[in-house]
Amino acid sequence: MAFRTEQEVDSLHATIECEQPQPDLYKFVGRINIYKDKEEPVARPLGAENLLLRGATLKNTQHIYAVAVYTGMETKMALNYQSKSQKRSAVEKSMNAFLIVYLCILISKAVINTVLKYAWQWSPDRDEPWYNHRTENERQRHVVIRAFTDFLAFMVLFNYIIPVSMYVTVEMQKFLGSYFITWDEEMFDEELGEGAQVNTSDLNEELGQVEYVFTDKTGTLTENNMEFIECCVDGNVYIPHAICNGQILSAASSIDMIDSSPGGYRREHEDLFFRALCLCHTVQVKEEETVDGIKRGIHQGRPTSFYISSSPDEVALVEGMKRLGYTYLRLRDNYMEILNKDDEIERFELLHVLNFDSVRRRMSVIVKSSSGEYLLFCKGADSSIFPRVVSGKVEQVKARVEQNAVEGLRTLCVAYRRLSETEYEEVCHHLNEAKLALQDREQRLAQAYDIIERDFVLLGATAVEDRLQEKAADTIESLHKAGMKVWVLTGDKMETAAATCYASKLFRRSTQILELTKKRTEEQSLHDVLFELNRTVLRQRSISGLSVDCLDFGLIIDGATLSAVLKPNQEGAGPGNYREIFLEICRNCSAVLCCRMAPLQKAQIVKLIKASKEHPITLAIGDGANDVSMILEAHVGIGIMGKEGRQAARNSDYAIPKFKHLKKMLLVHGHYYYIRIAELVQYFFYKNVCFIFPQFLYQFFCGFSQQPLYDTAYLTLYNISFTSLPILLYSLVEQHVTMETLKREPSLYRDIAKNSLLRWPVFLYWTCLGVFDAVIFFFGAYFLFDNTTFTSNGQMFGNWTFGTLVFTVLVFTVTLKLALDTHHWTWINHFVIWGSLLFYVIFSLLWGGIIWPFLNYQRMYYVFMQMLSSGPAWLSIILLITVSLLPDVIKKVLCRAVCPSATERAQSSRPCLTVEPSTIFMLSQSSSRMSF
Amino acid sequence: MVKQEKELANRPDNTAYTQQRLPAWQPMLSAGIIIPGFVIIGLAFIGIGVALFVTSQSIQVLELDYTGVEQTSPCFKCTDQTIKNCVCKLDFNIDKLFEGPVFFYYGLSNYFQNQRKYGVSKDDTQLSGDLDNFKTPSDTCLPYRYDSQGKPIVPCGAIANSMFNDTFKLFQIVKGVRKQVPFDGKGIAWWTDYNIKYRNPSVPVLKNAFNGTVKPISWPRPAYELDTSDPANNGFINQDFLVWMRRAALPDFRKLYRRITDGDYAKGLPAGNYSLEIAYNYPVLDFDGRKKVLLSNVSWMGGKNEFLGIAYLVIGSLCIVMSIVMLIVYAKFKFPEED
DSSP secondary structure letters along A869-899: T-HHHHHHHHHHHHHHHHHHHHHHHHHHHHS
Judge whether residue A298 has pLDDT over 70. no
By Cβ distance, the residue of B13, B18, B248 closest to A798 is B248
Q: Please give the average per-residue pLDDT across B93-102, as a whole number.
A: 89
Chain A touched by B300 (CB under 8 Å): yes
Domain coordinates in residue numbering, chain B: 31-59+301-339, 70-92+113-247+272-287
CB-count burial class (<10 Å; 0-12, 13-18, 19+) for B280: buried
Residue B239 has pLDDT above 80, yes or no: yes
Q: What is the pLDDT of residue A927?
A: 37
Dihedral sign (CA B89, B94, B97, B102): negative
Nearest of A603, A618, A606 to residue A90 by alpha carbon: A618
B31 touching A, CB under 8 A? yes
Q: Do the bridges between strand A305-308 and strand A284-286 make them parallel or antiparallel, or are there none, so unpaired?
A: antiparallel
| Cβ contacts of A786 on chain B, cutoff 8 Å | 250, 252, 307
- Check whether A550 has a pLDDT greater than 80: no
Q: Which amino acid is at A327?
A: T
Q: Could you tell me if B12 lies within 8 Å of chain A, comparing CB atoms?
A: yes
CB contact under 8 A, A792 and B301: yes
**Cα dihedral A196, A202, A204, A209 sign:** negative
DSSP 3-state of A320: helix
Instruction: Please give the Cα distance from B210 to A907 (Å, whole number).
Output: 73
In percent, the amount of chain B with pLDDT more than 70 equals 96
- What is the rounded average pLDDT for all residues in chain A? 83
* Confidence (pLDDT) at A574: 46
Q: Can you name the residues that pair with A737 across neighbouring β-strands?
A: none
Q: Is the dihedral of CA B294, B299, B302, B308 positive or negative?
A: negative
| pLDDT tens string B4-53 | 555 566 777 888 888 888 888 888 777 778 889 999 999 999 999 999 99
pLDDT band at A924 (very low <50, low <70, confident <90, very high): very low
- Is residue A900 within 8 angstroms of chain B, CB to CB? yes
Q: What value does the mean pLDDT take over residues A487-493?
A: 84
CA B112 to mean position of chain CA atoms: 14
What is the bridge-based pairing of β-strands A553-558 and A512-516? parallel
Omega within 30 of 0 (cis) for the link into B143: yes
Which residue intervals of A2-141 are DSSP H helices? 6-10, 76-83, 90-120, 124-127, 136-140
Which among A216, A382, A558, A751 is annotated as catalytic? A216
Q: Is A895 on the interface with B (CB under 8 A)?
A: no
Q: Of A707, A794, A866, which is closest to B114 when you measure between CB atoms?
A: A707
Q: Does A122 contact B at CB distance below 8 Å?
A: no
For residue A136, what is the nearest residue in chain B, using CA coordinates?
B143
The predicted model gives B73-90 an average pLDDT of 86
Probe site for chain B from A787, A816, A870 (most B CB atoms < 10 A): A787
pLDDT at position A252 over 50: no
Asked if omega into B155 is within 30° of 0 (cis), the reply is yes
Tell whether B30 lies on the interface with A, counting CB pairs under 8 A: yes
Q: Is B333 on the interface with A (CB under 8 A)?
A: yes
What does the pLDDT look like over A30-69, one tens digit per residue? 888 888 877 788 888 888 888 888 777 777 778 888 888 8
**Which DSSP letter does residue A746 get?**
G
Instruction: With 0.95 as the threshold, say if the pTM is over it.
Output: no
Instruction: Express each pLDDT in A434-475 by its tens digit.
Output: 888 777 888 888 888 888 888 888 888 988 888 888 888 899
Optimal mutation site among B307, B317, B318, B324, interface A, most CBs of chain A within 10 A: B307
Q: How confident is the model at residue B69 (pLDDT cuts 50, 70, 90)?
A: confident
Distance from CA of B21 to the nearest CA of A (A): 9
Which chain B residue has its CA at the smallest distance from A922's CA?
A: B25
Q: Say how far apart CA A463 and CA A466 lie, in whole Å.
A: 10
The b-or-e profile of B71-103 (16+ CB within 10 A means b, else e) is eebebeebbeeeeeebebebeeebeeebebbbb
Contacts with B155 (C-beta within 8 Å, 6 or more apart), sequence order: B122, B123, B126, B127, B216, B223, B236, B241
3-class state of residue A927 by DSSP:
helix
Per-residue pLDDT at A261: 43
DSSP annotation of A667 reads I
Tell me the backbone φ, ψ of residue A83, rounded to 5 degrees: -70, -10
Kindly provide the residue ranges of all beta strands, DSSP E only, lying in A394-536, ordered along the sequence: 409-419, 456-468, 485-489, 512-516
- Which of A23, A44, A24, A22 has the alpha carbon at shortest distance from A33? A44
**Binding-site entries of A for ATP:** 216-218, 314, 356, 379, 410, 490-492, 596, 602, 626-627
Task: Please state, for a pLDDT cut of 90, what percent of chain A lies above it.
Answer: 31
A10 noted as active-site residue: no
Identify which of B266, B274, B260 has the alpha carbon closest to the alpha carbon of residue B183: B260
Chain A residue nearest residue B44, CA to CA: A879
Q: B148-163 b/e with 16+ CB inside 10 Å = b?
A: eeeebbbbbbbbbbbb
Half-sphere exposure for A313 (CA within 13 Å, toward CB): 20
Query: Are residues A889 and B6, on separate chains, in Cβ contact within 8 Å?
Result: no
- At B316, the pLDDT band (50, 70, 90 cuts) reads very high
Residues A352-411 have pLDDT tens digits of 888 887 678 888 999 988 888 898 999 988 888 888 888 888 888 888 888 888 877 888
Contact B143 A133 (CB under 8 A): yes
Confidence of residue B138 (pLDDT cuts 50, 70, 90): confident
CB A634 within 8 A of CB A617: no
pLDDT tens sequence across A15-34: 898 888 877 776 788 888 88
CB contact under 8 A, A898 and B333: yes
Cβ of A913: how many Cβ atoms within 10 Å? 11
ipTM for the complex shown: 0.95
The interface residues of chain B toward chain A in range 52-81, judged by CB-CB distance below 8 A, are 52
